[in-house]
Chain A
Amino acid sequence: MDNKIIDKTEIENKHKKVGIVSCSGENLPEGSISRLATLEVLLKQKPFNTTTICLPLYVAGGEGDRMFAKNYPTITVDGCEKLCAKKATEKFSGKVTHSINVKDFIKEGENLTNRRNLNDKEKEIAKRVADEIEKNVDKILKEGQD
């Protein structure tokens, strides 16, 4: 095993970050998918190039929290057509760079039933959404280099 200690500051300087803000909607399965997809990207698919904020901190937090979308190009991930993550980010913080709605990644005939303990089909949809987030993270990072 490689025991080298990672210098977090060095990593942060090397890797530009994209913000991802999930609605995490508690009242519907799509909110759980939004949250899982966001975590998959943050923790596994793009850990060094992404960061996040708890959405309700826009109200509960301070000015620094509300600077999020000004500090990072931001992708919002919403579970339904209310687009709460997008609306709240644009209301309190700044314009979002890209907006994703989980509903757009559900195929005809795919019925979601679980708000917790997502089944294999629901996890598969979350993976589709995560891949879409990752694709847009890469696009934003590439555009930043041009």
Chain B
Amino acid sequence: MSRDKKVIVIPCSGIGKPIGTVSRETTHEIIENLAKDKAETVCLAALTSGDEETIEKVKNNYVITLDGCAKHCAQKNVEQYGKTPDKNYMILKFAAANPDKKPQGLIDIGNSGKALVDTISDKIAKDVEDLTKNKKVTEKENNH
């Protein structure tokens, strides 16, 4: 049964910070390129507004949340429905660990921002692979 589950990748898409754009771009890179058969996304706003179809989808699949900052909006919006994300990442920590890959702007994150997207996407694509193979993903890895 669990083999049929998809991984729902949910970014915060924070509108006020380039790091929010990075979370969004990373999600699209995963669901459109790196793991397009295994991963999907849902609109985070639909969780905030309480859309039943979206809530059910999140409850019945694996979930990876990508938050730009320490407010953890994506994670908390999932948790309000009793679902704990299988993985949660904070993009700021990836940015701190990769100072040469700095997003340049809110609308266009530039080549260095895209390099950050590639770095994060590679890691999360591996998580998608592990989750869909039903491998245990260590919670402690959520340090990023």
Contacts and interface: CB of A to CB of B under 8 A. Distances in A.
A84 B80 contact: no
B107 A56 contact: no
Nearest to B27: A26
B74 interface: yes
A56 B42 contact: no
B100 interface: no
B77 A60 contact: yes
Contacts of B11: 26
Given A24-B13, A92-B48, 15 more contacts: A23-B43, A25-B43, A43-B107, A53-B16, A54-B73, A55-B15, A56-B44, A56-B45, A56-B48, A56-B74, A59-B47, A61-B71, A83-B49, A87-B50, A88-B45
25 contacts: A22-B15, A23-B43, A23-B45, A24-B44, A24-B45, A25-B46, A26-B10, A35-B13, A52-B16, A54-B16, A55-B15, A55-B44, A58-B48, A59-B73, A59-B76, A59-B80, A60-B73, A60-B75, A61-B73, A82-B43, A82-B49, A83-B49, A85-B49, A91-B50, A116-B24
Contacts of B43: 23-28, 31, 79, 82, 84
B71 A26 contact: no
A88 B49 contact: yes
Contacts of A28: 43
Interface in B107-135: 107
B32 A115 contact: yes
A39 B15 contact: yes
Interface string A7-36: 000000000000000111111100100011
Q: Which of A22, A27, A36, A56 has the most CB of B within 10 A?
A: A56
Nearest 8 Cβ contacts at the A-B interface: A84-B45, A56-B73, A25-B43, A60-B76, A84-B49, A60-B73, A88-B49, A116-B28
Interface size class of B (residues with CB under 8 A): 35 or more
B38 interface: no
Given A43-B107, A88-B48, A38 B72 contact: no
Contacts of A82: 43, 46, 49, 51
Interface string A77-95: 0010011110110011000
B25 A116 contact: yes
A54 B12 contact: yes
A57 interface: yes
Nearest to B74: A56
B19 to A, nearest CB: 11
B71 A85 contact: no
B20 interface: yes
A13 B10 CA distance: 37
B45 A54 contact: no
